[in-house]
Amino acid sequence: MPSAPFNPLVSRLSPPPVPSVFAWGRAYDGASGPLIDLSQAVPGYPPHPDMLAWLGEAAASKACAGYGPIEGEDALRDAYAAEMAEIYGAPVTAANIHITSGCNQAFMAAVMAIAGAGDRVALTDPFYFNQETTLAMLGIGRELLPLDAADGFVPRLERVREVLARGVKAIALVTPNNPTGAVYPGPLLKDIFELCRAAGAWLILDETYRDFLPAGERPHDLLSVAGWEENLVLLYSFSKSFCIPGHRLGAVTAGERTVAEIAKVMDNLQICAPRAPQAAVARAIPALKQWRNANRTEILARTAALRAVMARLPAWKMDSLGAYFAFIRHPFGDLTSAEVAEMLARKAGVLCLPGAYFGERQEAYLRFAFANADAATIATLADRLGGFTPA
């Protein structure tokens, strides 16, 4: 008897990439020292003790065991809206906020609300691979907005115009960027947004790593543009700032009509985001500001440590650096990025992601997610990379 077929939009996708990298690390013999994990974008320090206490308290609460509001808990929507208003100097209310189970789900819910099978959405090249596979499994076409190392992997307006002319429903950008770390300047984002508005297209802006920009710098002024609600969706993750990636909590900031459309999607995806972390984060947003600012300073110190390491390794070229990530051009042009990454893991004990995971044009690159390693550990990369040969 023939086997029942799977959905081809899913079955033709490659397996999730990060577990394969962990498998390479398990083959490392420890000869160069402890394994250095630069693969997954996770904070390399624990949650605040108060956060753990609040999570435990909420998880043990009978109230949090039932269903919650589809759009998210009122307390969290209020707290996050107040923070957005403070960051951007613009009026944002709870009605503009939808809470999700992580930022990947925020992207999926937003895209499903905006585009359908047969529509097209533009991603940058390189792209964040989960966004690319989300479009593929939904039957949404992918257009690519090429980015170049010569531009610091920042979009050019003429290329934005070209991709909009192809009739995309939306352009999705990530800033600070995953995988490159590039930070898109606020005035450039304003120009891109105006082009999207003129074309009747959406701008989806993933700001997962926003909290690790230097203090005092407003990322952009898009929320001050009159009528922003008609074309703009901002995405965010609480995972990095509060060190709770396992609790899966993200947010969408959008117009009220958009929030209502996303609620239709969420009711089918999950009904509501996990309630215990919502209750804990609602308390943490105002209470842990100083702790979060100290973590921002720590990540910036790790950024400086990696910059110093790469300055000692002229054969390895760091083409972009920021927030959690560096996009590193490896010196082994005759090998694929996967071959280099696998041998780095097995021989040197350094886990990183191959550039090809982020687009076909990225074989020359490796992504280092350095936020998971402290400055002292990052400093040891000079010897490991400097002495590494793939043979």
**Among 16-25, 181-190, 313-322, whose mean pLDDT is lowest?**
16-25
Share of the chain above pLDDT 90, in %: 91
Q: Are 97 and 77 in contact (CB under 8 A)?
A: yes
pLDDT at 44: 83
**Among 27-36, 141-150, 164-173, whose mean pLDDT is lowest?**
27-36
Question: 338 φ, ψ to 5°?
Answer: -65, -40
Does residue 20 carry a pLDDT above 90? Answer: no
DSSP per residue, 12-60:
TSPPPHHHHHHHHHHT--STTSS-EE-SS---SSPPPHHHHHHHHHHHT
Strands 250-254 and 232-237, sheet pairing: antiparallel
Q: Write the CB contacts of 15 (distance below 8 Å, at least 6 apart in sequence).
A: none
Does residue 244 carry a pLDDT above 90? Answer: yes
pLDDT-based confidence at residue 58 (cuts at 50, 70, 90): very high
Quote the CA–CA distance of 91 and 318 in Å, as a whole number.
39
Quote the CA–CA distance of 17 and 102 in Å, as a whole number.
18
Q: Is the pTM of this model over 0.85?
A: yes
pLDDT-based confidence at residue 2 (cuts at 50, 70, 90): confident
In angstroms, the Cα distances linking 225 to 164, 199, 230, 239, 259 are: 20, 16, 11, 28, 18
**Among 31-45, 135-149, 352-366, whose mean pLDDT is lowest?**
31-45
Q: Write the CB contacts of 73 (distance below 8 Å, at least 6 apart in sequence).
A: 99, 275, 278, 279, 282
Residue type at position 154: V
Task: Give mean pLDDT, residues 96-103.
Answer: 98
Does residue 391 carry a pLDDT above 80? Answer: no
pLDDT at 136: 97
Task: Give mean pLDDT, residues 230-245.
Answer: 96
Q: Are 365 and 327 in contact (CB under 8 A)?
A: yes
Does residue 372 carry a pLDDT above 80? Answer: yes
Task: Give mean pLDDT, residues 198-221.
Answer: 93
pLDDT at 43: 86
Does residue 248 carry a pLDDT above 90? Answer: yes
Share of the chain above pLDDT 70, in %: 100
What is the tens place of the pLDDT at every residue in 137-165? 999 999 999 999 999 999 999 999 999 99
Q: In what order do the strands lie in the sheet with 317-322?
A: 317-322, 325-329, 365-369, 353-354
Task: Give mean pLDDT, residues 203-219.
Answer: 92
Q: Are 144 and 162 in contact (CB under 8 A)?
A: no
Q: E-assigned strands of the chain?
A: 36-37, 97-100, 120-125, 141-146, 170-174, 202-206, 232-237, 250-254, 317-322, 325-329, 350-351, 353-354, 365-369
pLDDT at 215: 80
Quote the CA–CA distance of 104 and 262 in Å, as a whole number.
14
Quote the CA–CA distance of 141 and 80 in Å, as a whole number.
32
What is the tens place of the pLDDT at every residue in 212-233? 998 878 999 999 999 999 999 9
pLDDT-based confidence at residue 291 (cuts at 50, 70, 90): very high
pLDDT-based confidence at residue 309 (cuts at 50, 70, 90): very high
